[in-house]
Amino acid sequence: MGSSTAAANDVVDKGVDFANYFCTYGFLYHQKEMLCDRVRMDAYYNAVFENKHHFKGKVVLDVGTGSGILAIWSAQAGAKKVYAVEATKMSEHARELIKANKLQDVVEVIEGSMEDIVLPEKVDVIISEWMGYFLLRESMLDSVLCARDRWLNPNGVMYPSHARIWMSPISSGLVDQKMRDYDGAMADWSGFIKETEACYGVDMSALTRPFDEEQKKYYLQTSLWNNLHPNQIIGTPVIIKEINCLTVTVDDIRDVCASFSSSITEENTRLCGFGGWFDVHFRGSDKNPALKEIELTTAPDEDLGTHWGQQVFLLHPPRNVQSGDELKINFLMTRSKVNHRLMEVDLGCEIKQSSGKLVPTIQKKFYIE
């Protein structure tokens, strides 16, 4: 389905994409935030240095090198040559950093987008930290797959090699807070309508419906970044997508469609929505496996938070649920038509109570902005 892929990509205006997306990555404070994420750093560091055989004497490509850290580690692990590709001006800082660490003879920084640039040779390893919120936000995996199809040797390996998306029913006070925020915004609007009529002779009530829609979208339908505590997980977590980075295509990840069940595991609690997160694994390939498999997980954890946190999809109003209740969920995530790096989610949830009673399907629309 290469043609449909090309067609979808052609719609993207590069200047707009830069204004909306890449610009963030041009700031060092943002790079620092990622470089201070210990879970992220430890996973990549261990993945590289516990599997030096994948790097020693090899040619490596780092897609979206940012400040250059993965390229530097690849070189320190013995790579013969590392191509470090970066779309933003961060490339200049990467070059500086690589020089300061005396690796300029091994690491070559290339400023440009992965889709446009040309390498002088094929590579043995593609390493990249491409994961966005809820794994696929930012759609950066597209660029990694493009790199793989163009530049990876037949026996090459992907770092990471596998990725999974998880979801779980949760309980959260955010559901009340966001409803209060929304109610407050609408109460404020009512006052505004009265005042504008009284003071300025204009009836604004025709805008009440669209304002309500805008506020609902903002407060109730936009997924939230949150660091969930494990005790907020009130049901069995479920894998909704598995990705083999060596074989997956852009068409495989454009939509995420899943039907799954989850059992409520807490007594007498409130189903306030769903938490979503991801993990990735560094396993090498079947032909060329890792010596030590490394996992990077962004699951709720009492101690170890990541800058990705979890994405929370709130259910308004929350529903009372019991241990043993069964949730049947239909989940569809598609890319936003106006910005391919953002997502829309249609989520249907049916609750089959342990008593046998069936709660009618709840159907919700969410935006991952």
Using CB under 8 A, list all residues that contact its own copies: 13, 15-16, 18-20, 27-29, 32, 35-36, 41, 45, 67, 69, 72-73, 76, 93, 96-97, 99-101, 185, 189, 192, 196, 199-207, 210-211, 214-215, 218
Nearest to 336 by CA among 112, 8, 1, 73: 8
> Identity (one letter) of the amino acid at 96?
E
Of 209 and 357, which CB lies nearer to its own copies in the complex structure?
209
Of 9 and 101, which CB lies nearer to its own copies in the complex structure?
101
Tokens of 103: 């690796």
For the bound state, the minimum distance from the C-beta of residue 202 to its own copies, rounded and expressed in Å, comes to 6
Active-site residue, 138 included: yes
For the bound state, the minimum distance from the C-beta of residue 169 to its own copies, rounded and expressed in Å, comes to 31
Of 99 and 122, which CB lies nearer to its own copies in the complex structure?
99
For the bound state, the minimum distance from the C-beta of residue 176 to its own copies, rounded and expressed in Å, comes to 21
- Measure the N-to-C terminal CA separation of the chain; round to a whole number of Å: 27
Of 118 and 206, which CB lies nearer to its own copies in the complex structure?
206
Active-site residue, 92 included: no
For the bound state, the minimum distance from the C-beta of residue 26 to its own copies, rounded and expressed in Å, comes to 10
Of 17 and 350, which CB lies nearer to its own copies in the complex structure?
17
For the bound state, the minimum distance from the C-beta of residue 46 to its own copies, rounded and expressed in Å, comes to 11
For the bound state, the minimum distance from the C-beta of residue 147 to its own copies, rounded and expressed in Å, comes to 23
Of 43 and 233, which CB lies nearer to its own copies in the complex structure?
43
Q: Which of 92, 121, 138, 195 is catalytic?
A: 138
The full 3-state SS of the chain, as one line of letters, equals CHHHHHHHHHCCCHHHHHHHCHHHHHCHHHHHHHHCCHHHHHHHHHHHHCCHHHCCCCEEEEECCCCCHHHHHHHHCCCCEEEEEECCCHHHHHHHHHHHCCCCCCEEEEECCCCCCCCCCCEEEEECCCCECCECCCCCHHHHHHHHHHHEEEEEEEECCEEEEEEEEECCCHHHHHHHHHHHHHHHHHHHHHHHHHHHCCCCHHHHHHHHHHHHHHHHHECEEECCCHHHECECCEEEEEEECCCCCHHHHHCEEEEEEEEECCCCEEEEEEEEEEEEEEEECCCCEEEEEEEEECCCCCCCCCCCCEEEEEEEEEEEECCCCEEEEEEEEEECCCCCCCEEEEEEEEEECCCCCEEEEEEEEEEEC
For the bound state, the minimum distance from the C-beta of residue 100 to its own copies, rounded and expressed in Å, comes to 3
Q: Which of 86, 129, 195, 242 is catalytic?
A: 129
| Residues listed for the chain | 369
Of 26 and 156, which CB lies nearer to its own copies in the complex structure?
26
Tokens of 222: 């936009």
> Identity (one letter) of the amino acid at 75?
A
Tokens of 258: 């899943």
The Cα 322–Cα 66 span in angstroms is 46
Active site residues: 129, 138
